[in-house]
Amino acid sequence: MSNLLVSLVAQFKGQKAFNQAESATDKLSKKVNKLAKTLGLALGGAAIVKFAKDSIKAFAAEEKSIAMLSNALDNLGMGKQATQIYSYIEALQMATGVADDDLRPAFQKLATAGLNAADAQSVLALALNVSAGSGKDLDTVSSALAKAVGGNTGALSKLGVGLSKSELKTMSLNDIMLKLSATYKNSAAKAAETFSGKMAKLSVAIGTAKESIGKGLIDGLMLATGATDIADLQTKIINLGTTLASVFVATGNLIHDNWSLIKQLGIALIATFTAAKVYAGVAALISIINKLKAAYVALRTVSFAAAVATAAAINPVAAIAAAGVLVATIIAGNIALDKFNKSKAEAEKPFKVPDFTGLTGVDYGDAKRLEGLKIAAAKAQMKAAKEALKQKQLNKIFDLNYIQLYAALQGKLTDEEKNRVELQLALLDENVNAADYLSKKLAVSQGQTSMLSQFLRTLPDAKNPFESWGDYLKAIELEAKRIGALSFGTAAPSSVGGGGAASDAGKVTTNTPKVTDPYAGKSAYEIYGPSGGLGAGVIAGVNVKVFMDGKEMTSLITDAQVNDTLSGTFSDINRVAAKGSVGIR
């Protein structure tokens, strides 16, 4: 789809793209490194398997090559010399670094061309020299020589070994051989002395070892599987593959069938990790994984190889299967470990709050999301705190300390005692604020008590209100004694006052101070009468005698009557007691 565009305002996003590319490259390189590690490990196992395979292959090729040569020698009537020929080829191989797999076919060609065993060996040696000198491969040179033995020198001319067609036509086979020998004398030996020759020798040695190991492995496999021949072994190996495949399928099915259960287990595990247990859980996980990691490392370095080697020695087939399982397990474990380590490393990084100030380069979507995350985190924290509090409250029910303290609070306590109990509760609750407040309160209360005690101690003694009573009583006693000690005269008037002359009226008269006891010699009954001196309805009192003249009396009566009349009450006047006494009612 075409889209012509005129961009009026644009923004360069290349940097971001580069960053993304950089990040992607980093990730890729990390992944490649990881892959390399994994592959390194896997290849460790795979290399063993490959070596085993190569060994078996080398042994098979060797066996085939020997069988072909052996058959050819038998057909050519050189069967009896076969052992000697094999030894020669082995020696030649070790001396020149040319593999017996190449030497045998070359020898076979020369022998088939009509040369006897000794000639064939000589020509083979010549072929090796020509090959090393001309740079042509042994197979080509030996074929050309074999053809020359048969009379066809065309191939030799094509080899470019210094023999023209005319020379080849005129020269006999012997001359040709002599010339070639002269031309390429010691070429093979010289070539064998070079670095590449030495490497070739080494390679030959390894190849030989491989063949031997391959023979051993096949023998071992046959013994282990009870195979009678290679065909039987082949069938058994195919069966093993089928069995393993079905095992893998069964494992996959097991996981698939129990997937919901596995998920539930995961959910249960997550649920178990409540806020209070998260740290402990994570710590435990780290500990377990570290142990696993150490085990893996050990397994990587020593145990794995040792286990495979041991298993290979005992039972090669089982060893291959075991190696496969081990490799798979370790790879999976390593991937999990790498992921965990990465997550852990990410988690350990300090959280960097993005800078949302300014207008450029800000992703506001992230700000909102971050805000959302913060709120969610705060909510989760609050929830966790509530859960913990709830749990603590539940624990309190069965806590003897709490029970005792709450029981104590139910009783009658002074303020200070109550403070003490509440402080203990606050300490048990780990409520720092409350504990602080109550401890201060208690300290103040204690301070006040001690101050009061101090005050009371320093108070002066209270005065005894009866302290002076003793003196007072003594003074009374003395006074009484003094009064008792007083003496009075015998003559005394019989009465005080009484009626007197009219001239004395209205005046209180006192006689001489002669005091006589009027009741002397009389009993109390006689003095005070049957009522103790008081008649019924008589006001006890002092008899007062008032002396007044008639006028005053008259005016008083008149006033009284007038008042009574005005007030409307009845009044009478009667004479009471003795003469001169008037009672008004």
Partner 1 sequence: MPTELKGANELRKALKKFAPELAKETNVELVGFLKPIVKKARGYLPSNDEMPSGFVKHEVKTAKFPMYDATEARRGIGYKLTPTKPNRQGWSSTVSIHNKTAGGAIFETAGRKSGVSGRFSPKMAGSFAGSGKLVGRAMFKAYDEDQGKAKAAIIKAIEKAAIKFARGK
Task: Point out which residues bind partner 1 (CB under 8 A).
Answer: 1-18, 359-365, 368
Using DSSP, state whether 217 is helix, strand or coil: helix
CB of 26 to partner 1, least distance (A): 19
Q: Toward partner 1, which CB reaches closer, 5 or 538?
A: 5
Q: Toward partner 1, which CB reaches closer, 36 or 373?
A: 373
**Alpha-carbon gap, residue 512 to 489, rounded angstroms:** 12
Q: Toward partner 1, which CB reaches closer, 17 or 294?
A: 17
Kindly state the tokens that stand for 108: 């076979």
CB of 275 to partner 1, least distance (A): 34
CB of 375 to partner 1, least distance (A): 18
CB of 283 to partner 1, least distance (A): 42
CA atoms within 13 A on the CB side of 256: 6
CB 108 within 8 A of CB 142: no
**Alpha-carbon gap, residue 438 to 427, rounded angstroms:** 10
Kindly state the tokens that stand for 139: 């197979």
**Alpha-carbon gap, residue 192 to 96, rounded angstroms:** 5
**Alpha-carbon gap, residue 210 to 56, rounded angstroms:** 8
CB of 1 to partner 1, least distance (A): 7
CA-derived radius of gyration, the chain: 71
546, containing H or E segment: none
CB of 28 to partner 1, least distance (A): 20
Q: Toward partner 1, which CB reaches closer, 370 or 427?
A: 370
Residue 584 is given by DSSP the state: E
Q: Exposed, middle or buried: residue 550 (CB in 10 Å: 0-12, 13-18, 19+)?
A: exposed
Q: Exposed, middle or buried: residue 33 (CB in 10 Å: 0-12, 13-18, 19+)?
A: exposed
Q: Toward partner 1, which CB reaches closer, 362 or 553?
A: 362
CB of 351 to partner 1, least distance (A): 23
583, containing H or E segment: strand 582-584
CB 78 within 8 A of CB 85: yes
CB of 373 to partner 1, least distance (A): 17
CB of 24 to partner 1, least distance (A): 15
Q: Toward partner 1, which CB reaches closer, 358 or 484?
A: 358
Q: Toward partner 1, which CB reaches closer, 18 or 259?
A: 18
Using DSSP, state whether 575 is helix, strand or coil: strand
Q: Toward partner 1, which CB reaches closer, 16 or 50?
A: 16
- Amino acid, res. 495: S
Sign of CA dihedral 48, 51, 55, 61: positive
CB 168 within 8 A of CB 157: yes
Q: Toward partner 1, which CB reaches closer, 365 or 530?
A: 365
